[in-house]
Amino acid sequence: MTKTIETTAKGTEAAAAPERIAAEWIGLDWGTTNLRAYAMAGETCLAEARARKGMNTLATRDDFERALFDTVGAWLPEDPEARVRVVACGMVGARQGWREAPYLRAPTKPIGEPRAVPTSRPGILVEILPGISQDEPPEVMRGEETQIAGLLAAEPNFEGVVCLPGTHTKWVRVADGCIVAFRTAMTGEIFGLLSERSVLRHVMDEEWDEGIFAAAVAEAAADPAQAPLAFFRIRAQSLLHDTIPGESRARLSGLLIGAELAALGPFREAAAVRVVGNAVLAGHYAKALGALGQGAILHDGAAMTRAGLAAAWAGGAP
């Protein structure tokens, strides 16, 4: 069983000190807020460590190295000359990250030549995978391309559309092993703003009603132009009529996702769909697609990231 260690922003461990593990190589999913590290032996994950040390929490490039060694120190050999490859994806390669890994331009294979970053330990070389850009319409991604590589490792012949739900949800068209085109919807961020910072925050709870969610998806998908007028009615409904637990949250999410699916109609329709992400959010998107008569197969986002990092590691092995 894979062991998980989580650390605080200051590097102190939230649990007992991690046991020493002889990692063959280390994979990193390094985002804006968090760092997730994997001790790997081939394609097998031996241990996982999480730290709240994303790009936005680190002021200098030296901070990135310290954050890395604080998080994975127990996996490194005692001999500082011993070689351990570290393969990283995500915002660590952004302009404000450790080192910028220039974008590949779509259409392209998901995995490109990494940017090599030396560290103070001669044996530890960090390889940062590039993100992908698109000129028309202008789009960028960092991290999702590695999940696409993981999906293609699991389904080498897949052709269709991959939905990667998150703060900024990506919809990626894949053909011939390449990322052909993609779109981004800020649905997750908009949901967070409306549910946490608008007047709707007063009617949100942690419950969830599947029937109301599906109905809201269908409503917004049928007439997305009316969705902005439906948002305030969530507040009015709670003031004038009885509501059930989970009604407001499910309705807001359904309206937003339904409008997103309507906007992406020509892009996603008549194609096989895979949804890659955490079980809850990916499940919502799969159910929303189902409400519109389009099936989807789910893949765990973390597993796809590890598989994509493993593909990059194997491709660069000496």
pLDDT of residue 9: 41
pLDDT of residue 8: 43
**Least confidently predicted of 8-17, 180-189, 218-227:** 8-17
Which is nearest to 103 in space by CA: 137, 142, 138, 64?
142
> What is the token pair recorded at 131?
């993100």
Pairing of strands 84-90, 124-128: parallel
Give 281-293 pLDDT, tens digit per residue.
999 999 999 999 9
pLDDT of residue 17: 45
pLDDT of residue 3: 59
118: cis peptide before it, omega within 30°? no
The residue to which tokens 């096989």 are assigned: 272
Q: Note whether 167 and 302 are same-domain residues.
A: yes
Residue 306 resides in a domain: yes
pLDDT of residue 11: 43
137: cis peptide before it, omega within 30°? yes
pLDDT of residue 4: 61
Q: Would you say 303 and 150 are in contact if contact means Cβ atoms under 8 Å apart?
A: yes
Q: Note whether 127 and 147 are same-domain residues.
A: no
> What is the token pair recorded at 205?
């709870």
Among 103, 133, 163, residue at a domain's last position: 133
Asked if residue 13 has pLDDT above 50, the reply is: no
Task: Tell me how far CA of residue 11 lies from CA of 3, 4, 35, 51, 63, in angstroms.
Answer: 18, 15, 11, 7, 12
Residue 102 resides in a domain: yes
> What is the token pair recorded at 124?
């530890």
Confidence of residue 6 (pLDDT cuts 50, 70, 90): low
Which pTM does this prediction carry?
A: 0.91
Give 99-157 pLDDT, tens digit per residue.
999 999 999 999 999 999 999 999 999 999 999 999 999 999 999 999 999 999 999 99
pLDDT of residue 97: 95
CATH number of the domain that residue 61 is part of:
3.30.420.300
Give 114-128 pLDDT, tens digit per residue.
999 999 999 999 999
Segments forming the whole domain that contains residue 97: 3-133
Tally of domains within the chain? 2
Asked if residue 305 has pLDDT above 80, the reply is: yes
- The 8-class DSSP code of residue 219 comes to H
Task: Determine the Cα–Cα distance for residues 185 and 170; give it in Å rounded to an integer.
Answer: 7
- Within 8 A by CB and 6+ apart from 270, the residues are none
Q: Note whether 58 and 179 are same-domain residues.
A: no
Q: Note whether 110 and 158 are same-domain residues.
A: no
Q: Note whether 164 and 283 are same-domain residues.
A: yes
Q: Note whether 128 and 195 are same-domain residues.
A: no
